[in-house]
């Protein structure tokens, strides 16, 4: 250990990481064609799988305390770094990539074991400790696991329990993915509640964003959202208006009319 308290992951997170990696691998092993397009992306099934293998390996390196350059923290720079890394990595076959995804997710968990939970790591999405990094790993796999499931016309693995485990990362990352132009001059306090448990607060002061696991004392607007919808919307996989029309998002409070605009203040990474 490098000093400080050992890393303590939220209950269920390690199992969720392992299970999600295995389920993604199983999707890939059954894929008839890794050259098939992925809905909503410019990547093929093989390219998404290759990106996941690379990202999991990067997370393992970060968990071990190594500093790895990958963009400057903005969604645009991370996307550019992803494309550059993908172009330099030629593997697109399903079975080798499935094995890499599982192996590297396990390597990330192994790298966290016995190391300090207090150490701050520099990641593509900013500084965070190892517990939040584990949540980041799960969030990233769920987003692209959903992409692969859609492309292969198979059930996806995003569920309420796993979404709850993404909150440590999601709350940490929200200020980094805020759209400064859209939020310019905004003053508002939001509470976001996930159906079945889980909540956090987001505050805008003259457009500057802070997010906290403790909601504000007197929110202007409370948003209640179905958990799977929350994650898919946050990752840009679900249109806000469609979710609202289906009753999966509700808003109330002193200023309920500011609820529908909330997703506009962020850009999915």
Q: What is the pLDDT of residues 149-198, one digit of tens each?
A: 999 999 999 999 999 999 999 999 999 999 999 999 999 999 999 999 99
For residue 63, the number of C-alpha atoms closer than 13 Å in the C-beta half-sphere is 28
Residue 1 lies inside a defined structural domain of this protein: no
For residue 7, being part of any structural domain is answered with no
Provide the phi-psi class of 102: left if phi over 0, else alpha when psi is between -120 and 50, else beta.
alpha
User: Residue 74: its pLDDT value, please?
Assistant: 78
Over range 223-243, report the average pLDDT. Answer: 95
Q: How many residues does the chain have?
A: 269
Helix (H, G, I), strand (E, B) or coil at 202: strand
CATH number for the domain that contains residue 208:
3.30.1050.10
Collapsing DSSP to helix, strand or coil, 229 comes out as helix
Structural domain contains residue 3? no
Please report whether residue 60 resides in a domain. yes
Angle at CA of residue 29, ends 27 and 33, nearest 5°: 90
Q: Residue 47's Cα: distance from chain center in Å?
A: 18
Show the tokens assigned to 6. Answer: 């050992």
Predicted TM-score of the model (pTM): 0.95
In the listed set 172, 205, 227, which residue is the last one of a domain according to the structure?
A: 172
| Per-residue pLDDT tens digits for 60-86 | 999 999 988 888 777 788 889 999 999
The answer to whether the beta carbons of residues 201 and 191 sit under 8 Å apart is yes
Q: What is the count of structural domains for the chain?
A: 2
- Asked if residue 2 belongs to a domain, the reply is no
Q: Give the model's pLDDT for residue 3.
A: 59
The whole-chain average pLDDT of the chain stands at 94
Same domain membership, residue 187 and residue 109:
no
């Amino acid at each position: 250990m490098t000093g400080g308290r050992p890393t303590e992951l939220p209950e269920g997170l390690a199992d969720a990481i392992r299970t999600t990696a295995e389920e993604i691998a199983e999707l890939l092993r059954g894929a008839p064609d890794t050259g098939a397009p992925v809905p909503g992306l410019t990547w093929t099934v093989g390219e998404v799988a290759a990106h996941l293998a690379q990202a999991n390996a990067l997370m393992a390196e970060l968990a071990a305390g190594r500093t790895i350059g990958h963009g400057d923290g903005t969604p645009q720079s991370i996307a550019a770094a992803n494309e550059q890394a993908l172009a330099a990595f030629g593997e697109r076959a399903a079975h080798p990539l499935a094995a890499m995804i599982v192996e590297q997710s396990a390597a990330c968990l192994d790298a966290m074991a016995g190391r300090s939970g207090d150490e701050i790591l520099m990641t593509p999405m900013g500084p965070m400790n190892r517990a939040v990094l584990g949540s980041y790993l799960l969030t990233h796999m769920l987003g692209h696991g959903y992409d692969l499931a859609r492309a292969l016309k198979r059930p996806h693995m995003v569920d309420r329990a796993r979404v709850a485990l993404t909150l440590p990362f999601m709350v940490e990352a929200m200020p980094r993915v805020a759209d400064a132009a859209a939020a310019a001059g905004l003053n508002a306090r939001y509470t976001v509640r996930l159906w079945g448990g889980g909540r956090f607060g987001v505050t805008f002061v003259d457009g500057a964003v802070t997010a906290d696991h403790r909601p504000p004392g007197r929110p202007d607007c409370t948003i209640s959202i179905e958990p799977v919808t929350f994650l898919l919307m946050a990752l840009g996989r679900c249109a806000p208006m469609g979710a609202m029309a289906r009753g999966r998002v509700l808003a109330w409070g002193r200023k309920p009319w500011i609820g529908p605009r909330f997703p506009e203040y962020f850009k999915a990474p």
